[in-house]
Structure formats: C-alpha cells, structure tokens
C-alpha cells in the first residue's frame, strides 16, 4: 500500500496529444506531482518540449522518445548541481510547443497608406492578405511571449504579428514607386519584400513567417469611380463622344427626363423634315441617313523612362511611329491585355510595318 501511494506521487510518462487547431503551447498538468527520474518523455512530430525549472529555462527536447536522466538533462543537471548523479524525483514545469504551421492568418491595413503615384500623384492605398506562422525557437517563444500561460493559442499572438506586418507593408508600398495600375502584377514581389522586412522582428519572438501573401491592393471607392470614368472616356475616344454616348444611353431608358426631352426634340425635327419634303403628290423619298461615327479604336498607354503616359489612339501612335517616338521595343498596354508587352508583339505591329526605313546615304 505504501509503495502504491508513493508510486502515485510520481510521474513516469510525459506526453501531449493535441486535439485542437489553434493551440501553440500547452503546459503538462502534473498537479504538484514530482517527475520521476527515468520517466519517459514522448515528443511527437510537430512538437517540442521545454523544461522550466524554478522559473529558469532549462532543456528543450525535439521530436523523439526520451528517458529522463542526468545525461539528457544537461542544463537542469547544472542548475541542480547533479554532476555526480541524482536519482530522486524533481519538480519542473514542462511546456509542449506546437511547431507546425498555423495557416490562413489574416492581415490588413486599418487606415489608408499614403503613397505618391507617378501618374495620379498622391493616392491612398489599402491592402490585405494572409500569412502562416510557426514557432522556430521554442525556448525563446516561451521566454518572450508565453510566460506562465498554461494554454497559449494563436489568437493571442496574431494581433501583434498583424501590427508588425502592417507597419512594414505601409513602408514598402509607400516607397515602392510602382504605379497603382501595375501593383496587381507585382504583388508576389512586394510580398517577398514585406516578408523579408518583418523576419528579424518576428524572429525576436521565436517565430518565423514561412508564407506571406498580398491578396489585394485597392484605392478608395471614390477614386476607383473616378478612374472608371477616365477609363470609359479613353475607351470611347474623347469627351464629346463620351457625352454623346451618355445621351444615347439616357434616350434608351424609358420614363427618364432626358429620354422624354430627346424624344420630343426628335419628334419636332422629324415633323419639320416631313413638311419640307411634302408636295402635292404626297411625301417624297427622304435623304439617306448620315453614316454612323467611326469607331474610336483601342486606347493605348506607353511606358517611357519608368513613367506611364496616355491614353493614345492609333492616329496619335501612327504619328509617333513616323517621328521615331514609338518603335518595336516600346512597352505598351491596352485594356484587356495581360500586362505590358513590346509594341511589336501587339496590334501596333502593323503601324510599325508602315513606317519607311531610314533613307539611303547620300552618294
């Protein structure tokens, strides 16, 4: 009976099975029991075991099966002066640390980031995305972040990591010098720059960021609306045609004031035309309707010396090609095109084919 009682006072098996998805650290519950020298410690893949003895960081165990003795508890042995061997039970706190990745962590800017765009001038940007984090140094993570928390979850550190990310993201986006219209094509490179920038500060917590993604970089809603209008004008051709286009749309909407006014005007005009063509033998054949306005064609943007200019239309570009300001290597972009391309790889190649070669030298 005495032996059974003493046996119940000692811990001889230490392990942890995690049945959650967000627990980063769990303290082994020993209920004031002493750990038996020679006890079995099981550390599974994706875990680390950290021993804290009398408030001091002692030994850290990586995945494996261990029999706790003085030879594999070197720091604890030094702290307890067990240099000549020790077989009695000891009391230490054991923390199991989850070293797997914690994926799909969210980040985003609360306030707009002020940046200077080479085409639009000062703009306000917002950005958001996801990242993954993992414990790379279990001992440092216990010391710097967890402390004596018996069960530490990812939510308790993710807010601080988000602050670090947003600070670095604001600096990187503001200093990038990349035009707003080209940022979507450079999110992967910008994400790598931000991940490298935050690595040292995150490393001070014993953490690493193995994956970092920028999902979206956007402008304020009112700026996006203005940009959409500017794009519409570029697609239509010029302001007069844009106004005509809006008027035509208004005419097509039944019940609208513009549609009614335009309808009345058209009716009056048609009446006057019929009166002029009426004769004693009835209505004469009316004149042929005027031809429709020519199509505006594509609007093109040019990249010259790191700056974007445009929009230009084919008449402008034909003149630029004749003057040598547009050549086959000029980088161009138009709506619907996948990124910037050389002019020779686009529909503009036919304009360049019409440009005569340099004249022969004088005899």
CA distance to 236, 290, 291, per residue, from 294 (Å)? 11, 12, 9
For the cut 80, the answer to whether the pLDDT of residue 355 exceeds it is no
Instruction: State the average pLDDT for the chain.
Output: 80
Average pLDDT over every residue of 68-79: 81
Task: Determine the pLDDT at residue 6.
Answer: 40
What is the C-alpha separation between 179 and 166, in angstroms, rounded?
Answer: 20
3-class state of residue 218 by DSSP: strand
Task: Determine the pLDDT at residue 318.
Answer: 82
For the cut 80, the answer to whether the pLDDT of residue 142 exceeds it is yes
Residues 155-166 pLDDT 10s: 999 999 999 999
3-class state of residue 303 by DSSP: strand
Residue 127: closest CA among 221, 211, 227, 219: 219
Residues 246-283 pLDDT 10s: 676 666 666 555 555 545 554 555 455 544 544 454 44
Which run of H or E residues covers position 60?
Answer: strand 56-61
- Confidence band for 4, pLDDT divided at 50, 70 and 90: very low
Task: Determine phi and psi for 15, rounding to 5 degrees.
Answer: -160, 170
What is the C-alpha separation between 47 and 35, in angstroms, rounded?
Answer: 20
What is the C-alpha separation between 248 and 246, in angstroms, rounded?
Answer: 5
Provide the terminal-to-terminal Cα distance of the chain, rounded to the nearest Å. 122
For the cut 60, the answer to whether the pLDDT of residue 226 exceeds it is yes
Task: Determine the pLDDT at residue 92.
Answer: 87
CB 175 within 8 A of CB 114: no
Fold of domain 221-246+296-357: Dna Ligase; domain 1 (3.30.1490)
Query: What residues does each domain of the chain span?
Result: 2-98, 102-219, 221-246+296-357
For the cut 90, the answer to whether the pLDDT of residue 312 exceeds it is no
Q: Checking DSSP bridges between strand 102-108 and strand 47-53, what pairing results, if any?
A: unpaired
CA-based max dimension of the chain = 134
Task: Determine the pLDDT at residue 117.
Answer: 85
The DSSP annotation for 166-189 comes to: HHHHHHHHHHS---GGGGGGGHHH
Average pLDDT over every residue of 225-231: 72
Task: Match 């093109």 to its residue by tokens.
Answer: 300
Task: Determine the pLDDT at residue 5.
Answer: 37
- Confidence band for 33, pLDDT divided at 50, 70 and 90: confident
The first and second tokens of residue 288, run together, are: 């042929």
275 or 88: whose pLDDT is higher?
A: 88
Average pLDDT over every residue of 180-195: 90
Task: Determine the pLDDT at residue 281.
Answer: 45
Residues 198-223 pLDDT 10s: 999 999 999 999 999 999 998 878 77
Q: Which residues contact 29 (CB under 8 A, 6 or more apart)?
A: none
Task: Determine the pLDDT at residue 222.
Answer: 76
132 or 323: whose pLDDT is higher?
A: 132
For the cut 80, the answer to whether the pLDDT of residue 356 exceeds it is no
CB 86 within 8 A of CB 102: no
Task: Determine the pLDDT at residue 184.
Answer: 85
Percent of the chain whose pLDDT exceeds 70 = 76
Average pLDDT over every residue of 30-35: 79
Residues 319-344 pLDDT 10s: 888 888 888 888 888 887 888 888 88
Q: Which residues contact 231 (CB under 8 A, 6 or more apart)?
A: 335
- Confidence band for 2, pLDDT divided at 50, 70 and 90: very low
Task: Determine phi and psi for 293, rounding to 5 degrees.
Answer: -65, 145
Four-way CATH pick for 102-219: 3.20.20.140, 3.10.20.30, 3.40.640.10, 3.30.479.30:
3.30.479.30
Residues 89-128 pLDDT 10s: 888 899 999 999 999 999 999 888 888 888 778 888 999 9
Q: What angle do CA 23, 102, 44 make, to 5 degrees?
A: 60
């Amino acid at each position: 009976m005495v032996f059974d009682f003493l046996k119940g006072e000692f811990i001889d098996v230490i392990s942890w099975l995690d049945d959650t998805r967000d627990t980063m650290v769990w303290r082994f519950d020993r209920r004031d029991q002493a750990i038996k020298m020679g006890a079995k410690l099981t550390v599974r893949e994706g875990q680390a075991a950290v021993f804290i003895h009398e408030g001091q960081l002692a030994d850290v165990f990586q995945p494996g099966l261990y029999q706790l003795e003085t030879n594999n508890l070197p720091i604890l042995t030094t702290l307890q002066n067990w240099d000549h061997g020790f077989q009695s039970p000891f009391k230490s706190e054991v923390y199991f640390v989850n070293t797997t990745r914690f994926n799909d962590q969210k980040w985003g800017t609360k306030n707009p980031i002020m940046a200077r765009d080479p085409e639009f001038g000062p703009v306000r940007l917002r950005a958001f995305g996801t990242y993954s984090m993992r414990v790379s140094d279990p001992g440092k993570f216990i010391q710097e972040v967890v402390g004596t928390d018996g069960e530490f979850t990812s939510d308790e550190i993710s807010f601080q990591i988000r602050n670090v990310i947003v600070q670095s993201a604001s600096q990187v986006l503001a200093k990038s010098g990349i035009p707003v219209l080209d940022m979507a094509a450079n999110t992967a490179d910008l994400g790598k720059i931000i991940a490298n920038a935050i690595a040292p500060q995150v490393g001070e917590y014993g953490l690493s960021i193995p994956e970092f993604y920028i999902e979206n970089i956007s402008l304020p809603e009112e700026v996006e609306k203005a940009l959409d209008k500017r794009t519409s004008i570029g697609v239509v051709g010029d302001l007069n045609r844009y106004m005509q286009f809006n008027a035509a749309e208004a005419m097509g909407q039944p019940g609208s004031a513009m549609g009614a006014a335009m309808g009345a005007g058209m009716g009056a005009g048609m009446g006057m035309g019929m009166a002029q063509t009426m004769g004693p033998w009835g209505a004469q054949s009316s004149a042929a309707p005027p031809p429709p306005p020519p199509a505006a064609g594509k609007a093109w943007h040019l990249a010259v010396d790191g700056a974007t200019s445009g929009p230009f239309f084919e008449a402008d570009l034909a003149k630029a090609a004749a003057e040598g300001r547009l050549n086959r290597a000029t980088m161009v972009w138009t709506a619907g095109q996948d990124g910037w391309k050389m002019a020779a790889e686009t529909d503009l190649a036919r304009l360049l084919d019409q440009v005569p070669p340099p004249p022969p030298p004088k005899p």
